[in-house]
Structure 1
Amino acid sequence: MKHLIVYAHPRKESFNHAILETTVQTLRQKGHEVIVRDLYAMEFQPVISSSEILGGVGEDIEQEQEYLKWADVITFIYPIWWTGLPAIVKGYIERVFTYGFAYRYVNGEQKGLLKGKKAIIINTQGKSHAQYAASGMDKALLLTSDQGIFEYCGIEVLHHEFFESVPGSDEATRTAWLRQIEEMAGKV
């Protein structure tokens, strides 16, 4: 299988980076092809231009769209910041998941154009699951990303994992989480 990983965290020492390394290593050991798009390392420009809103995309965006076309599974790895996607990830989606490429309207109805693609979303967060559930943010996160972005574009979400209270977690917990990532990646 062909796996595209869209990764966003500015620090190589982060737990997100450990998730990335574990995912890549496990997938390659299972014989999968893997391409990683590290948005911070690429210095990806997240700000959409007025010409892009009108439908014109540059070579950089065309290249990202080619990676999406190539992939069977798209894995997003990023932290939850301000109860949402980091700006660089939101910008990636706004600039790459364009009208006519990822979705379109036919007779007034929205149609996802990335049918057949599958997604895995892996998030870290500072708060606990209980804290997010108490405010309803747990459901809001799923609604905005899974339904509002991926399913909207026709992508089937296979897994959406949230690792909670990461800044206060201990090494044993993180090791267990990385084993969970290995198991998940090994089954795809």
Structure 2
Amino acid sequence: MKHLIIYAHANPESLNHSILETTVSTLEKNGHEVVVRDLYALDFQPVLKPADTNAMKAGETPKDIKTEQEFITQSDVITFIYPIWWTGLPAILKGYVDRVFSYGFAYAYGEEGIVKMLTGKKGFIINTHGTPKEYYDEIGMTEGLKITSDIGIFGFVGIEPVGHLLFGGVGSLNEEAYKGMLKEVEHTVDSLFS
């Protein structure tokens, strides 16, 4: 299978980067083809500007958007790896979704409602957040995050969500806990994409 990983964390020393490395090595070990789009390393421009919208309406998709859309088109599985900031996506990833998952590419409107144009692809998400997991579970935030990303983004465009890992308490745990998280990533990726 062809995997596209959209990665959004600026610090190469972060847990997210270790999660990225674990995901890539596990997929490659299982014979998958993997492409990583590191949005910070690419200096991806996240702001959807009127010029972008006008160009796409005229059938002249800006080059940086078109490049990302081609990676999506060629992939079987799309994985997002990112930290939860203010109970949502980092701005650079939100902007990626705004610009790349555009009308006419990822979805459209037809006589019977929404046309999901990325049907047939699978989606997987891995998140970290500093808030303790138990608190997010208790207040319903864990489920809320899954709904807004799995259904609100992936499901809206026809990508089938196949898994979502959320790791809480990041920044206040011991080394064993972080190793356990990476083991869970490896095990989950293995079981989903063996």
Instruction: Note the alpha carbon deviations across 1:125-147, whole angstroms, 9 max, x for none.
Output: 11122212333322221221111
Tell me the residue number matched to 1:128. Answer: 132
Aligned mate of 1:58, from 62, 71, 85: 62
What is the rounded CA distance, in whole Å, between the counterparts of 1:43 and 1:138 in structure 2?
29
Tell me the residue number matched to 2:113. Answer: 109
- Superposed structure 1 runs of 4+ greater than 4 Å apart: none
Structure 2 length as normaliser, TM-score? Answer: 0.93
Say if 1:3 and 1:75, in contact at 8 Å, map to a contact too. yes
Amino acid of the structure 1 residue aligned with 2:89: L
What is the rounded CA distance, in whole Å, between the counterparts of 2:46 and 2:89 in structure 1?
12
Unaligned runs of 5+ in 1: none
Structure 1 length as normaliser, TM-score? Answer: 0.96
What is the rounded CA distance, in whole Å, between the counterparts of 1:183 and 1:16 in structure 2?
16
Aligned length: 188
What is the rounded CA distance, in whole Å, between the counterparts of 1:52 and 1:139 in structure 2?
33
Alignment of 1:31-180 (within 5 A): 31-54=31-54, 56=56, 57-107=61-111, 109-180=113-184
Unaligned runs of 5+ in 2: none
SS class of match (2:5)? strand
SS class of match (2:64)? helix
- The percentage of aligned residue pairs carrying the same residue is 51
What is the rounded CA distance, in whole Å, between the counterparts of 1:35 and 1:13 in structure 2?
20
Tell me the residue number matched to 2:14. Answer: 14
Say if 1:28 and 1:34, in contact at 8 Å, map to a contact too. yes
Q: CA RMSD in A?
A: 1.2
